[in-house]
Amino acid sequence: MDREDHHLLAGRPRRFSELQVPLGSVTPKVLTESLRAMCRDGLVTRTAYDEIPPRVEYELTPLGRSLLEPMAAGCAWNREHLAELLAARTASAR
Amino acid sequence: MDREDHHLLAGRPRRFSELQVPLGSVTPKVLTESLRAMCRDGLVTRTAYDEIPPRVEYELTPLGRSLLEPMAAGCAWNREHLAELLAARTASAR
């Protein structure tokens, strides 16, 4: 899951809902935990604005941004080869 | 662990012991399970030669070989940034 929400943050800071909607299948609990872990690892910052209604935004740090390229390589491999891997897995299960 | 034994296979087919020795900290059980999973996923082939003593070799498939590049990107990021990530993790734990 970290991979997809990472890409969502590539463009600009995002609110929780702006991450949650595109990641439809991800529960709020998992998204919260992932964002918390990414903040803990210095990949993302969480900024709470003292406004009414309260606003919280998540943004990639330089360290987080440096991860975009290797993750893109992994995602590209995935798009190109995942079907082949899953077919091998199915064949070996027979 | 898959990442490191994957690279060991990049050059030529390897025997179990040729993988186990450089991966010192990996138990035979974990190495066996990892190799079995990589065979199941079509990334590695296992060939048993009808010889005395018996000889078994593991070799990357084309699908396995295609994974070397994105994995190298991940390993390069790791070498360059892991210390920074772990420092952030330690700082956030205080």
pLDDT tens figures, B49-91: 999 988 999 999 999 999 999 999 999 999 999 999 999 999 9
Query: In which band, very low, low, confident or very high, does the pLDDT at B2 lie, cut at 50, 70 and 90?
Result: very low
Q: Which residues of chain A have a CB within 8 Å of the CB of B85?
A: 41-43, 63
Query: In which band, very low, low, confident or very high, does the pLDDT at B6 lie, cut at 50, 70 and 90?
Result: low
- List the one residue out of A33, A29, A30, A56 whose CA is nearest residue A45: A56
In the three-class reduction of DSSP (H, G, I as helix; E, B as strand; rest coil), residue A55 is classed as: strand
Low-confidence ranges of chain A (pLDDT < 50): 1-2
Looking at residue A1, what is its pLDDT? 40
Interchain CB distance below 8 Å, A70 and B67: no
Interchain CB distance below 8 Å, A70 and B69: no
Beta-carbon contacts below 8 Å between A and B: 71
How far, in Å, CA of A73 to CA of B66, rounded?
11
Domains of chain A: 2-93 (1.10.10.10)
- List the one residue out of B55, B56, B79 whose CA is nearest residue B7: B79
Interchain CB distance below 8 Å, A67 and B89: no
Rounded to the nearest angstrom, the minimum Cα separation between B23 and chain A is 24
Interchain CB distance below 8 Å, B63 and A89: no
Query: In which band, very low, low, confident or very high, does the pLDDT at B41 lie, cut at 50, 70 and 90?
Result: very high
Interchain CB distance below 8 Å, A85 and B39: no
Q: What is the mean pLDDT of residues B24-45?
A: 93
Q: What is the mean pLDDT of residues B39-57?
A: 94
Q: Give counts: helices (H), strands (E), chain B.
A: 5, 2
How far, in Å, CA of B20 to CA of B5, rounded?
9
Looking at residue A4, what is its pLDDT? 55
B68-93 helix and A28-40 helix, angle to the nearest 10 degrees: 80
Query: In which band, very low, low, confident or very high, does the pLDDT at B4 lie, cut at 50, 70 and 90?
Result: low
Nearest CA in chain B to A71: B74
